[in-house]
Amino acid sequence: MEEEILGVIERAESGRGRLYTLYMTSTRFVGINLGSPGMAYLAGGIVGAALSQRAAGKRAEQYRNVSLESQLRSDKKNFSIPYEAVNEVVLKPEGLSRATIRITGAGENIKLALPKKQGSFDLAQLALSDRLHGKLVVK
């Protein structure tokens, strides 16, 4: 059976300010590093951050027609976590802060803030609910 992409969340942000495209496939999570807007913001204020966001968007567009395996090999900050290696996935809906997803397992502890884009939280919950067999916690 070929791996199927169930959902994609673009521009999820790590605690270190890196932007990721998070793929939820039929077998695993795949995170593709799009870069960090942080330094551009410091260097150029709001204009620098906007340019960095634009560059991240262009990188995401370039990756659309590239296999997940090729994307994974393109940067050491990319990650792949098979669902069978996941200990727990915690989804927290938007409240005072942005919605988040925390993935633990396979020696990884990854926390990403989901974009404020409407439906990111619901997409993640829907794509994962029947794949994680009791490992999904919604708070």
Q: What domains can you pick out in the chain, each with its CATH number?
A: 5-138 (2.30.29.30)
pTM, rounded to two decimals: 0.78
Position 72 scores a pLDDT of 87
Average pLDDT over residues 45-50: 48
Mean pLDDT, the chain, rounded, equals 80
Exposure string of 48-85, with b = 16+ CB inside 10 Å and e = fewer, is bbeebbeebeebbeebeeeebeebeeeeeebbbbebee
Question: 71-111: per-residue pLDDT in tens?
Answer: 888 889 999 999 999 999 999 988 777 899 999 998 999 99
